[in-house]
Amino acid sequence: MTTTAELKKLIEMAEMRGASVVATLDEQAMINEGREIFDTIQISGLKGCGPYPMSPIAAAEKLRQLTGGQL
């Protein structure tokens, strides 16, 4: 499992290591519920990851592994 806050932090850590991250949000969740929920995460430029879009859970698991999971 992951939360939006944890995923944002993991993305920030990946970007600090030189990764390029494209995150798309679930527009319907934003429109209907006002919640910011990631739909897909695409990471490139980080050895061992990408470049194809992943689900938020898969991205969190991979980023925890590659960044040491230290938040």
Residue ranges making up the domain that contains 10: 4-64
Q: Is 11 helix (H, G, I), strand (E, B) or coil?
A: helix
Q: What total of structural domains would you count in the chain?
A: 1
Question: Is 32 inside any structural domain?
Answer: yes
Question: Is 11 inside any structural domain?
Answer: yes
- Supply the pLDDT for residue 1: 80
Question: Is 71 inside any structural domain?
Answer: no
Quote the mean pLDDT of the chain. Answer: 91
* pLDDT tens, residue by residue, 25-65: 999 998 999 999 999 999 999 999 888 999 999 999 999 99
Question: Is 70 inside any structural domain?
Answer: no
Answer whether 0.75 is exceeded by the pTM.
yes
Quote the CA–CA distance of 47 and 31 in Å, as a whole number: 35
- Supply the pLDDT for residue 50: 80
- Supply the pLDDT for residue 70: 56
Quote the CA–CA distance of 19 and 66 in Å, as a whole number: 11
